[in-house]
Structure 1
Amino acid sequence: MEPNNHKIIESVIVVVAYILLRIISSKLIDRTMTKKIVQKQRGKIIKKALNLIYFSIFSIFILLIWGVDQKELALFISTVLTVIGIALFAQWSILSNITSSIIIFFNHSVKLEDTITIIDKDYEVEGRVSDIGLFFVILKTKKNRRKYPSQTMYLFKK
């Protein structure tokens, strides 16, 4: 067999393993949600995070299969992480939003579908939490508008 045929077969195996791992982990999370071990809203967030982690890992495997040098890949990843780190430290609000989203997720202070009031210096926003991302808590107001307030504001549950 030609070397490229081996790479294609290995790539197909990695893609199949990626798909199987996503399906298995999704079913496992769904099962824990039905047993009420994990709340439905938290399960969605856990699925998003796991999918991002799986995609990153399997992308690295594909790059290694197709001949990207490990030293070059490590250099590229460290360079990207350094640039992201510098960008985040240059933008303290983004870094604080990521940190506060992690705290909100693990502290269980706010869940999806909770109604909250956000009190800021200039204005007050009230709405239902429709999504918790890395950068924002997305609210739906009473007028069914989407709001993207910063997570660094004070959150008060109704």
Structure 2
Amino acid sequence: MAFINDFFKEAIATAILIILVLALRIIISKLVKRFAKTTHRIEHRTNLVIKYIHLLTTILSIIALIIIWGVQPKDIIIAISSITTVVGVAMFAQWSILSNITSGVILFFSFPFKIGDVIRIHDKDFPIVAEIQDIRAFHVALKTEDGERIVYPNNLLFQKGISIMKNHFNETNFVD
């Protein structure tokens, strides 16, 4: 009984935070799904973006819980900066993975091409004209007119010029 009396405010704040986080997750999921439906995005890509957003809200809610239960903000900042430093050093060699994930999310929300479009990638050394077969978290699957399958990293799509080709190939060339 003493625990309840001593930490009543923290318990109420925790309950409110949990309710808010659950409501926020539901609202965000519905908004992203509505956006995906109106822009004709692929469902598995939609679910991937929702997972990323849920991970972010979970991390922020854990930080909020730590503050609610009395940890000083300066101690949180020290802990987060230490963790970030360790993770940053560990992930420095893996920057391309993070870059591809970020690019995948950006491609979901803002890029003008979609699965089924034929694109030209303006690369001086390796120009590509191919149909987009799939857009994943890390890469885009492409198929050329000759049937060659190419896996192209998402982050390179932001570094190279892209043209969307209209009626460039005969539709039967790309049927599996």
State the one-letter code of the partner of 1:101: I
1:54 match: 57
How far is the alpha carbon of 1:37 from its aligned partner? Answer: 2.5
State the one-letter code of the partner of 2:19: V
How far is the alpha carbon of 1:53 from its aligned partner? Answer: 1.2
C-alpha contact 1:112 1:129 (8 A) present in aligned 2: yes
C-alpha contact 2:140 2:152 (8 A) present in aligned 1: no
2:67 match: 64
1:95 match: 95
How far is the alpha carbon of 1:104 from its aligned partner? Answer: 4.2
1:32 match: 35
Deviations 1:28-52 (A, max 9, x none): 2222233x22613442232112101
Cα root mean square deviation, aligned: 3.4
C-alpha contact 1:7 1:66 (8 A) present in aligned 2: yes
Q: How many Å separate the matches in 1 of 2:18 and 2:105?
A: 30
After TM superposition, the score normalised by the length of structure 2 is 0.58
How far is the alpha carbon of 1:113 from its aligned partner? Answer: 9.9
State the one-letter code of the partner of 1:76: A
Going from structure 1 to structure 2, the CA distance change for 1:112 and 1:77 (only over 3 Å counts) comes to farther
- Unmatched segments (≥5 aa) in structure 2: 118-132, 142-150, 158-173
Going from structure 1 to structure 2, the CA distance change for 1:38 and 1:102 (only over 3 Å counts) comes to farther
C-alpha contact 1:130 1:138 (8 A) present in aligned 2: yes
2:129 match: none
Q: How many Å separate the matches in 2 of 1:100 and 1:24?
A: 26
C-alpha contact 2:21 2:61 (8 A) present in aligned 1: yes
In percent, how many aligned pairs have the same letter?
25
After TM superposition, the score normalised by the length of structure 1 is 0.63
How far is the alpha carbon of 1:73 from its aligned partner? Answer: 0.5
1:20 to 19, 23, 46: 23
C-alpha contact 1:137 1:151 (8 A) present in aligned 2: yes
Q: How many Å separate the matches in 2 of 1:25 and 1:8?
A: 25
Q: How many Å separate the matches in 2 of 1:58 and 1:20?
A: 13
Q: How many Å separate the matches in 2 of 1:51 and 1:86?
A: 25
State the one-letter code of the partner of 2:53: L
Higher radius of gyration, 1 or 2:
2
Q: How many Å separate the matches in 2 of 1:79 and 1:113?
A: 45
State the one-letter code of the partner of 1:97: I
C-alpha contact 2:104 2:139 (8 A) present in aligned 1: no
C-alpha contact 2:49 2:105 (8 A) present in aligned 1: no
State the one-letter code of the partner of 1:77: I
1:118 match: none
